[in-house]
């Protein structure tokens, strides 16, 4: 549940779900922090959405993963084909067991980290003027 790297089997499995079973969206969960995503054959694969709300705040040992940063995902998919049309991601930060919008520096850090660890030429995380 910790780490940005993907096991090769996870990626292969997600690709097969899309290619062989007709899955339109793969929603990975149970990672304690956001992990990378990609678009495969037009379908969104979220490898780990991270915890949204939890009671882990203040527990040490994994600070390098910034488990205080969260992402809220808003995908838009074509209802006929299941293909991804747009994805808006809102960065949040857990502070005192509440969620608040993440600051600009934290948002840039998270985007850069996810882009560096899981480069996807067809899409990348970028910070918009409104902070999304």
In the chain, where the domains are located: 8-117
Least confident among 29-33, 43-47, 97-101, 128-132: 29-33
At residue 45, the 3 state secondary structure works out as strand
- H or E element at residue 102: none
Give me the mean pLDDT over the 109-122 stretch: 82
Q: Would the pLDDT of 62 be above 70? A: no
CA 90 to chain centroid: 10
Tens digit of pLDDT for each residue in 25-43? 999 988 888 888 999 999 9
Taking 70 as the threshold, does the pLDDT of residue 122 lie above it? no
In Å, how far are 34, 43, 114, 123 from 96, measured between CA atoms? 19, 36, 25, 33
């Amino acid at each position: 549940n910790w780490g940005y790297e993907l096991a090769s089997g996870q990626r292969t499995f997600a690709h097969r779900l899309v290619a062989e079973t007709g899955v339109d969206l793969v929603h990975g969960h149970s990672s304690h922090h956001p992990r990378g995503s990609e678009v495969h054959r037009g379908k969104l694969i979220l490898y780990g959405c991270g915890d949204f709300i939890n009671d882990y705040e203040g527990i040490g040992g994994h600070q390098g993963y910034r488990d205080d940063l969260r992402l809220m995902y808003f995908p838009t998919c074509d209802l006929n084909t299941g293909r991804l049309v747009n994805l808006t991601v809102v960065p949040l930060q857990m502070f005192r067991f509440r969620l608040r919008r993440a600051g600009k520096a934290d948002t840039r850090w998270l985007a850069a980290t996810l882009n560096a660890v899981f480069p996807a030429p067809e899409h990348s995380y970028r910070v918009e003027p409104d902070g999304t």
